[in-house]
A and B are shown apart, each in its own frame.
Chain A
Amino acid sequence: MINLFKIKGQKKEEAASAAGKAPVKKQSAGELRLHKDISELNLPKTTSISFPNGKDDLMNFEIIIRPDEGYYMGGTFVFTFQVSPSYPHEPPKVKCKTKVYHPNIDLEGNVCLNILREDWKPVLNINTVIYGLNLLFTQPNDEDPLNHEAAVVLRDNPKMFEANVKRAMAGGYVGQHYFPRCA
């Protein structure tokens, strides 16, 4: 394959053309795949996207969801996405920036969504994740709780859960926790 004598001949040419070169930024395969995902986004009408670092940083973006049905209708919820160069080998890191009273989102913004962790597969994409996040607001699930108290209320007393969600979104206390207004 590589022949030593070939290398010998090559040597001179290389030395001759080693002029100053501008560094070229390498684009990872993950970035390219993300570029594809983003350019093909098909956002539901509840959802918008923004790129805080401008058009050339697709690896960090925000998704804003305004649910149009269910307990969370009228609220505005912001999620940050951090995508690593190993995407889609690794799932994007998603956090909820808005403090929300929700059985599957804890008060630090951790989100319990199977496709973000145990069920992630490289064939999934950003659209799937956005779809999953929307589902969290239309179908909060008391079986996979991250916010244990909220999950118990949802299971045992849906009316009270609804009232708690309203209070939290309007800006107020639920139990000991204060939720800034997001409606």
Chain B
Amino acid sequence: MRDRHLCFLIGETGRNPNAAAQLAPQPSVRGGSHSQPAPLLFFLVPSPSESSKASRTQRAAAMASPDAEQPAPTEPARWRDLDMLLSRPGNLVEASFDPSPTLRDLLGSLVEVLVVGAGGLGCELLKDLALSGFKKLHVIDMDTIDVSNLNRQFLFRVQDVGKSKAEVAAKRVMERVSGVNIVPHFCRIEDKELEFYSQFHIIVLGLDSIEARSYINSVACGFLEYDSNDNPLPETVKPMVDGGTEGFKGHARVIIPGTTPCFECNIWLFPPQVKFPLCTLAETPRTAAHCIEYAHLIKWDEVHSGKPFDADDAEHMQWIYSEALKRAELFGISGVTYSLTQGVVKNIIPAIASTNAIISAACALEAFKLISGCSKSVSNYLTYNGLEGTHIKVTDFVRDKDCLVCGPGTLIELDTSSTLAEFIKMLEEHPKLRISKASVTHEGNNLYMQSPEVLEQMTRPNLSVPMFELLKGVPCATVHATGMAENNGKKVSSLRKLRVAFKGVEASNMDTTESS
């Protein structure tokens, strides 16, 4: 996950335009989509026994100011609205839904939820999930609190600046919502082993980068296994709810690996970030942003011979600002300010607290529905736009059946004695694959590369080694092969996911989960 510090001024800031919501993209939409009725969002917040207008206002005030004293409502009353959702049958419930007053207890005592990110969206998510009956939560974030976060990351106070977001957020929500346990993880998402992620029943994402989403998606989809008919095995499905906001826009989507599109299936929803041509920056700057990018991308290296630029170093930022200002004066361009400099360099666009609240509410509701089955899930991508009126739209995106991350791949059975060379031969002969000249990779180990020559030489010795040995003796594993495959009589380059299973090797439950 990319470093996401926001260490600067007060000002409404959030990061990375790429990261979040793209507005209701149109292509490859299948059929109609059903929206969730918005009022449901509001039922979810447990209310005290008297649901008079006055007490609601009080409750809102208490939430807005967690430091205020507020007697904890008595348990049954507190969860009354939630219990209604869980104990009544209906026409819109999931087929598996079995209404019962004990569901809330199960929800609280059994379901482990991971919230990824404790920033603007993460703070909201933790609060919403805790108030929706989830009691076993974990939160992971590598960031520390910056003064500029305080305007919207409402769990944090001035005295928290510099502390771990995950730790402070967990503590605050536990103080406010009795009976909830939140375990904070102050680290990078990549620092955790797969075992850590496997313990959760659902993962809720409040992230602002494509990279981090893509990573969590690959982890969650990595647990997915298929049966021999390429149907996902329900017990290996690790659902995700992904939220993202960008200014007045946001999205909430439900990813059920093997059933709905995964993040990678629709990665094209996130267009590459707009980049200015370097020569425009060097020769013909026309805007304040051009001047700032010139100082950032060209001038810095010219002057600092190899010293890397650190966007979180205030001195570095000040230097970029003053250089950009000089450049702007030279070309008669106005508008370079310190905060614009930060905005351009760190790719910041304004973050709106209410967008976070709306998207988080939608995400928490989806998590609640996925787990309880008390209503059908959104299918499968909700976009919200609070600009020029308010628009909410749900789009039913379709899976990429050949997705390398969530697709079933092709099952190949091998003897433990089969060598890599024999395996490559099998790929050529396999009726579903017919991949010639395959290069093979496994979890970042390049087992064999047909090209370029340097890599072919380095990997050639593997050809005579049994696959069982190359895959470190696991009963089954996912490998990827690249090569020329036949498609409608034409040879096209392709990249395929393969499930390799070794004949006669016992696969225990967890091992298969792990290596697929």
CA distance A21 to B446 in the complex (A): 22
Residues of B with C-beta under 8 A to A155: none
Contact of A4 among B275, B371, B458 (CB under 8 A): B371
Given A29-B214, A29-B405, A36:B493 Cβ within 8 A: yes
Contact of A39 among B199, B264, B451 (CB under 8 A): B451
Assess whether A148 is in contact with B282, with CB atoms less than 8 Å apart: yes
CA distance A132 to B234 in the complex (A): 48
Given A4-B110, A41-B452, A26:B222 Cβ within 8 A: yes
Given A28-B218, A29-B405, A54-B458, A112:B452 Cβ within 8 A: no
Given A3-B96, A120-B272, A111:B278 Cβ within 8 A: yes
Indicate whether A157 reaches chain B with its CB closer than 8 angstroms.
no
Given A38-B449, A40-B482, A24:B215 Cβ within 8 A: no
Against A, the Cβ 8 Å flags (1 = close, 0 = not) of B298-317 are 10011000000000000000
Contact of B298 among A90, A106, A120, A144 (CB under 8 A): A106
Chain A CB within 10 Å, residue with most, of B94, B218, B372, B450: B218
Indicate whether A167 reaches chain B with its CB closer than 8 angstroms.
no
CA distance A55 to B441 in the complex (A): 11
Against B, the Cβ 8 Å flags (1 = close, 0 = not) of A82-118 are 0011100111000000000000101110111010011
Binds A, one of B23-31, B349-357, B498-506, B507-515: B507-515
Residues of B with C-beta under 8 A to A10: 235
In this complex, what residue of B is CB-closest to A147? Answer: B282
Given A17-B510, A85-B211, A55:B110 Cβ within 8 A: no
In this complex, what residue of B is CB-closest to A8? Answer: B110
Q: In the complex, how many residue pairs between chain A and chain B have their CB atoms under 8 Å apart? A: 192
Residues of B with C-beta under 8 A to A39: 439, 449-451, 455, 482-483
In this complex, what residue of B is CB-closest to A33? Answer: B495
Residues of B with C-beta under 8 A to A36: 439, 482, 493, 495
Assess whether B214 is in contact with A7, with CB atoms less than 8 Å apart: no
Given A26-B218, A56-B446, A2:B371 Cβ within 8 A: yes
Instruction: Looking at the assembled complex, report how far the CB atom of B231 sits from the nearest CB atom of chain A, in whole angstroms.
Output: 14
In this complex, what residue of B is CB-closest to A120? Answer: B272
Instruction: Looking at the assembled complex, report how far the CB atom of B272 sits from the nearest CB atom of chain A, in whole angstroms.
Output: 6
Which A residues have a C-beta under 8 Å from some C-beta of B? 1-8, 10-11, 13-14, 17-19, 21, 23-33, 35-36, 38-41, 43, 49-51, 54-56, 58, 84-86, 89-91, 104, 106-108, 110-112, 114, 117-118, 120-122, 144-146, 148
Contacts A2-B239, A35-B446 known; 19 new A-B pairs at CB < 8 A: A1-B96, A1-B237, A2-B202, A6-B96, A21-B195, A21-B514, A23-B194, A23-B195, A24-B443, A26-B218, A27-B441, A29-B214, A38-B455, A41-B452, A55-B459, A56-B445, A112-B279, A112-B282, A144-B279
26 A-B contacts (beta carbon < 8 Å) = A1-B96, A1-B256, A4-B371, A6-B235, A11-B110, A17-B509, A21-B193, A25-B444, A29-B267, A35-B441, A35-B480, A36-B482, A36-B495, A38-B451, A39-B450, A85-B215, A89-B272, A90-B272, A91-B272, A107-B302, A114-B277, A121-B272, A144-B277, A144-B279, A145-B282, A148-B283
